Amino acid sequence: MPLNETGKCSHCCSSNLCNSHGCGEQAPKRQNGTICYQCDGKLQSEACHKVTFCGNDEMCYISEESWYGEIMYRSGCKDNNCVNEQYPYPIFGRRNYRSAKRVRCCNSNLCNEKFKSQSLTLKPVKPDNTASVNNIEATTYSTKFYSTTSVINKDSQLTDFILLFPDGKYYEHAQPKVFLTSSDSDVFLAFNFCNHTIQPFSFVRNKTEYLLDQNVFMTDGLKQAGLQLYGRYISSVYGFILNQPYYPHHYSEGYLAIPTRYLGTTYIIPSFQVLNSRNVITVSPTKSSTSVTMNLKISLGFVKYSNKQYFNGDNITVVINKYETFQISLNATSDLTGTMVTSSDPIAVVSGSKCDNTSYNIECNPLIEMVLPINQLDNAFIIPHINIRPDSVVRLLSVTDTLVTIQTRYSSNVTRQIKGRHFYDFPHNEVSRVTASSDISVMIYPQTFSNEKGDAFMMTIPGISQYLPYYHFVVPEGFQSFISITTRTSEFNDFLLDGLMVFSADKVYTLVSDKTNYSSFTKPISSGEHTP
C-alpha cells in the first residue's frame, strides 16, 4: 500500500466503486446490493460523482425536469413503486405548475447515470387465446371470425392515442395521415380498427409523417374504423387529412390528438353552422361495452340513426365496444353546438362538419377538432393573434350558467351571462382575454378567404392553466404556416425555437390587466419538426 510524502495513503483505480476498499478501508454495508447515483440539480453537461445505497424497498431513478426551458437532472433512490413517466407531458392536461419532467426507474447498480433508450417489445399470442403478463391488462380485440390478444411488455410504459377520421364530401380522394414527434428513439405500434392489424414502425429523425390506410375513415353509424397509436416517448400526435394533388382546393384539415389518459366521460360539443353541409360527431371508447348517450341540441333539422329520426332534446344511446366507432351527422345546415355526450367509460370525441363553407360557398374542406372533456376545460383564456386571418369568430360555450368577461385592446370590458349549453360569439382580429365564473369551452373559427388562398378551420383555445414551458410539435409541408406565441409579458424575451433565440415579430399585441399582463405575436414557421 503506497504512502505519499505526508504519510497518507494513496490508492488509485479506474473501475466503478473500486475505491470502496482503498487504503484498507472497509466498504459501507449494502442494504440490498443496489447502488445508485445521487445528485440534485445537475445540468446535462455535468457528471454526477456521488452514490448512495438504496433500502430494501427502493430502486434507482433519474429525472429530467424542465424549469422555464432549463433542463436539470436529479438522481437517487425511489421506492419500488417508481414508474417511468413521459417527458414532455402531452400538450393537453390541466396543471398549476410550470415544470415538466420525465422519470426513468431501474434496479441494477449505477443504472441511473443517464437516460437510455429502451426498445418496445411486442409479444404475439396465437389466435383463439387470451393472455396477460404480470397482471397488465392485455389489448384484446375480437370479430365474428376470430379472437386474438397482443400483450405489450410491462416495461414499455406506453402512451396511447385514439385517432378518428370523420368522412367528408371528398374523403374518397383524401389521404389520412398521422404526424408525430418523439422526445427519444422509439418504436410505435399502430392498431387499425378495421382489419385488426398491428403495424410497428420506428421513429426516424426528420420523418414525422406516416400514411394510413383509407379504411380508417368513418361514415355515419357504428363500424370498425379508426386507429390506436402506442409509443413510449411520444410528444405530440396529429390526425391529418390531406388532399390529393389533383384536388388542389379540397380536403386538408387536422387536429391535435389527446392522449387516452386525458379522455373523459362527459363532453359538451363545439361546432359551427356552415353552408350546405352537415355537422358531425364521432366517438370511440377506450373499453368494450361502453354505453354512450348523446343528448342532442339542434337549432334546425334532425339526426337519423337506425331508421329513426332524433330531434332537439332527444337522446341517442348506443353500446360501443373497443375498436368500434360511432358517428352521427345533422341532416340540415344547422348546428350541434351544446350537444352533451356522456359515457360509462372514457371515450375519444371528434367534432366538426363535413364541409367548411363558413363564409364563402367556394371551398369544401372539413372542420375537425378533437374535443376536450369537461374536466379539462378552464375559466381563463388568452385568444392569440392569428396572422393573415383578419376575420375570425370566437365562440364561448358554457356547460352551466356562466358569467363571462371579454377584454380586448381597444374597447372596454364586455360582460355577458351565458346559459348552460348555450354560447356567445364575438369577432376577433388581434388579441383578447376571456375570464368566466365557471369552466367553459373556447373555440376560434378563422373564416375562409374570398381569394381561395385560405380555408376556414376550427381550433381549441387552451386555458392559461394548460400552458407549458416546452413544446415539441410538427408543421405539415405544402402550406403557408405561422406560429402564434402567447406568454406573460414579463417573460417575453425568453424563447428558444430549434435551439435559437426567437425574436418577436414586428407587431406584438399586449393586454394590460390588474393581475397579469400577456403578450402575443405571430411569426412564419417552416414545415417539419420543431423543438425548443
Classify residue 332 by its DSSP letter: S
Q: Please report the pLDDT score of residue 146 as a whole number.
A: 25
Residue 199 C-alpha cell reads as 403495424
Residue 465, pLDDT > 70, answer yes
| Cβ proximity of 152 and 158 under 8 Å | yes
Residue 194 C-alpha cell reads as 378495421
216 versus 40: which is more confidently predicted? 216
Report pLDDT digits (tens) over 421-459. Answer: 999 999 988 889 999 999 999 999 887 765 556 677 889
CA distance 176 to 488: 37
Q: Please report the pLDDT score of residue 16 as a whole number.
A: 63
User: At 78, is the pLDDT very low, low, confident or very high (cuts 50, 70, 90)?
Assistant: confident
Q: Please report the pLDDT score of residue 313 as a whole number.
A: 96
Residue 87, pLDDT > 50, answer no
So where are the chain's domains? Answer: 34-122, 157-376, 377-531
- Residues making up the chain, counted from first to last: 532
Report pLDDT digits (tens) over 479-515. Answer: 888 888 888 888 777 678 888 887 666 788 888 877 7
303 versus 208: which is more confidently predicted? 303
CA distance 109 to 35: 5
Work out the average pLDDT over 397-419. Answer: 92
Cα angle: 313, vertex 376, 181; to 5 degrees: 120
Q: Please report the pLDDT score of residue 309 as a whole number.
A: 95
Question: At a CB cut-off of 8 Å and minimum separation 6, what does 24 contact?
Answer: 1, 9
Sign of CA dihedral 331, 332, 333, 338: negative
The closest of 267, 268, 265 to 423, measured between CA atoms, is 268
Other residues' Cβ atoms within 10 Å of the Cβ of residue 301:
18
Pick the range with the lowest mean pLDDT from 94-103, 115-124, 224-233, 269-278.
115-124
Q: Please report the pLDDT score of residue 117 as a whole number.
A: 38
Residue 5, pLDDT > 80, answer no
What's the CATH class of domain 34-122?
mainly beta
Report pLDDT digits (tens) over 412-430. Answer: 899 999 999 999 999 988 8
Helix, strand, coil percent values for the chain (each to nearest 5): 5, 45, 50
| Cβ proximity of 475 and 508 under 8 Å | no
Residue 250, pLDDT > 90, answer no
Among all chains, which residue has been given the C-alpha cell 389533383?
246
Q: Please report the pLDDT score of residue 283 as a whole number.
A: 98
| Cβ proximity of 293 and 343 under 8 Å | yes
Question: At a CB cut-off of 8 Å and minimum separation 6, what does 33 contact?
Answer: 109
Question: At a CB cut-off of 8 Å and minimum separation 6, what does 130 contact?
Answer: 138, 140, 147, 149
Q: Please report the pLDDT score of residue 389 as a whole number.
A: 73
Report pLDDT digits (tens) over 113-165. Answer: 876 533 323 222 222 222 222 222 222 222 222 222 333 333 335 688 999 99
Please, what is the average pLDDT of the chain? 78
42 versus 364: which is more confidently predicted? 364
User: At 205, is the pLDDT very low, low, confident or very high (cuts 50, 70, 90)?
Assistant: low
What percentage of the chain exceeds 70 in pLDDT?
Answer: 72
* Range among 125-129, 292-296, 377-381 rated most confident: 292-296
Residue 223 C-alpha cell reads as 363500424
